[in-house]
């Protein structure tokens, strides 16, 4: 069977203090890393619709606006995965909560100057490409 890349979407969410929302992943993919809310596009779904759906499902937050921020092309050889991740800066309404505790242990705000050491690889790759949080 031929494998194909997956398309993911990730939400860069800032609070009023400029901190970014990260979740500690419990799912098999990138387990134990901190990542932005997001997930994979469904068939016939726009990336913007995907990011609104995923943010709501994972955090309970309502997305007010969505702006393109960049993308990464990520290889996970140990998982036999290839994911193209589309990043979006989003404005939200509400306070985050762990709506899918089987996938994400907690949501926490981090200053860009004090990110945890174990970020998802795609976030490091976005920074390597010159994106500044």
**What is the total residue count of the chain?**
133
pLDDT computed for residue 121 by the predictor: 94
**pLDDT at residue 25 above 80?**
yes
Distance of CA 27 to the CA centre of its chain: 13
CATH of the domain at 65: 3.90.79.10
Per the structure, how many domains does the chain have?
Answer: 1
pLDDT computed for residue 34 by the predictor: 97
- Domain assignment of residue 24, yes or no: yes
Taking residue 128's Cβ as centre, other Cβ atoms within 10 Å add up to 9
pLDDT computed for residue 67 by the predictor: 98
pLDDT in tens, 112-129: 999 999 999 999 999 999
Domain that holds residue 79: 6-128
pLDDT in tens, 94-104: 999 999 999 99
**pLDDT at residue 9 above 80?**
yes
Return the closest-CA partner of residue 36 out of 83, 82, 89. 89
Return the closest-CA partner of residue 15 out of 88, 116, 70, 95. 95
pTM comes to 0.94
- Domain assignment of residue 133, yes or no: no
Confidence of residue 88 (pLDDT cuts 50, 70, 90): very high
| Per-residue burial over 40-75, b = 16 or more CB atoms within 10 Å of its CB, e = otherwise | ebeeeeebbebbbbbbbebbbbebeebeebbbbebe
Confidence of residue 1 (pLDDT cuts 50, 70, 90): low
């Amino acid at each position: 069977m031929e494998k194909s890349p997956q398309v993911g979407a990730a939400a860069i969410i800032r609070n009023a203090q400029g901190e970014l929302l990260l979740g500690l992943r419990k799912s098999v993919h990138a387990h134990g890393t901190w990542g932005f809310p997001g997930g994979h596009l469904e068939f016939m779904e726009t990336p913007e619709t995907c990011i609104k759906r995923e943010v709501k499902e994972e955090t309970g937050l309502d997305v007010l606006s969505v702006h393109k921020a960049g993308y990464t092309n990520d290889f996970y050889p140990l998982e036999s995965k290839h994911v193209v991740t589309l990043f979006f800066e989003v404005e939200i309404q509400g306070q985050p909560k762990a709506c899918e505790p089987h996938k994400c242990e907690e949501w926490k705000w981090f200053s860009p100057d004090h990110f945890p050491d174990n970020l998802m690889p795609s976030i490091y790759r976005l920074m390597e490409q010159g994106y500044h949080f």
